[in-house]
Amino acid sequence: MRALIHQSFGAPEEVLAVEERPTPDPGPGQVRLKIVLSPIHNHDLWTVRGTYGFVPDLPAASGTEALGIVDALGEGVENLSIGQRVATGGTFGAWAEYVVADAAGLIPVPEAIDDETASQLVSMPFSTITLLEFLGAKEGDWIVQNAATGAVGRMLAQLGAARGVNVLGLVRRAAGVDELRAQGIEHVVATDAEDWRDRAAEITGGAHVAYGVDSVGGTSAGDVLSLLGEGGTLVAFGAMQSPVMEIASSDVIFKQAVVKGFWGSKVIPSLDAATRGALFGELIQRLTDGTLTLPVSAVFDAADIRDAVRASDTAGRVGKVLLKF
């Protein structure tokens, strides 16, 4: 079978290559999936670079999320059937023609959801809705976030609105405001304008901003913190620009702010089964009724991984880049 492998850590467009690997067989409690589509996430690329929280042994497989069709059943698997579409968000090595995954962790995909949407169902959407739970935001609360044009930023705005939670998005350029408004997301401010803080205050109406989400790092983390009210919570979700958060001590001290991190790989497994089920049910509902959208920027064959990585790294990209095998 074909699989994307890297022999060393480095720039993904340089070190990733399609190689032939033995087709795996499922063990007890496992199934083999024929991969249909798999998205490129930032954490996938960071893993290939060797800069993520998970560092695989070399030579290493790649990719973590995919839509697959059940191709073979391991001993004891009774809840799935051959030919069934399923989504996985935690199967390392998903960038391959076939992967083996634990049956218990797979999500059956309803017929109403198309392949492109289903391929990105778990990782980012579920992390985003879990982030809302993690924050504890209630109806009427305000959240401020940076990277608002990113996949998580768009989803947080959509899921927040569906729950009655107000989300103020910060973008680095004025064009980002128009992009999000075209998607129906109105509460957006471009920080390249001198009066952006005044604009943010106008949008919130001076309301208390209880939560902030930083996916960028650097000075942008401080911008988010500066808008929080007293007792607010700043959550580090990502580090797209810098691995260092530059925040003002005065904001932490005088606002009595709380700063903490969110990593889905740690938070999601801690959820009880009932909560996980309820959140997945909500995701399916939002996707089915169009409240939540998961756009796709482009689809590439795995052999064109260099072009796919470059497309994924393109500024202003709307939607995920997907790989097919």
Across the 325 residues of the chain, what is the mean pLDDT of every consecutive 10-residue run? 97 96 96 97 93 91 96 94 92 96 90 92 89 94 94 92 96 85 88 93 96 96 97 93 93 96 86 89 90 92 96 84 95
Residue at 145: amino acid letter: Q
Q: What is the DSSP string of 241-287?
A: S-SSB---HHHHHHTT-EEEE--HHHHGGGS-HHHHHHHHHHHHHHH
CA 223/CA 241 separation, integer angstroms: 14
Residue 185: count other Cβ atoms within 10 Å of its Cβ: 21
Tokens of 253: 């001290």
Three-state secondary structure call for residue 237: coil
Decide: 4 and 21 in contact? Cβ < 8 Å. Answer: no
Exposure letters 258-287 (e unless 16+ CB within 10 A, then b)? ebeebebeeebeebeeeeeeebbebbbebb
Q: What DSSP designation does 218 have?
A: B
Q: Are 153 and 144 in contact (CB under 8 A)?
A: no
**Residue 106 CB burial class (10 angstroms; 0-12, 13-18, ≥19):** buried
Confidence (pLDDT) at 268: 85
CA 247 to chain centre: 24
The pairing of strands 258-261 and 233-236 is parallel
Q: Pick from 121, 58, 43: which is nearest to 89 by CA?
A: 121
Burial of 124 (0-12, 13-18, 19+ CB in 10 A): buried
Return d(Cα 247, Cα 123) in angstroms, integer. Answer: 28
> Can you give the pLDDT at residue 178?
83
Main-chain phi, psi angles of 31, to 5 degrees: -135, 155
DSSP for residue 152: H
Predicted pLDDT of residue 107: 87
Unique residue bearing structure tokens 């808008």: 227
Sign, CA dihedral 284-136-154-40, equals negative
Q: Which of 60, 82, 57 has the alpha carbon at shortest distance from 15?
A: 60
List the one residue out of 203, 197, 264, 188 whose CA is nearest residue 225: 197
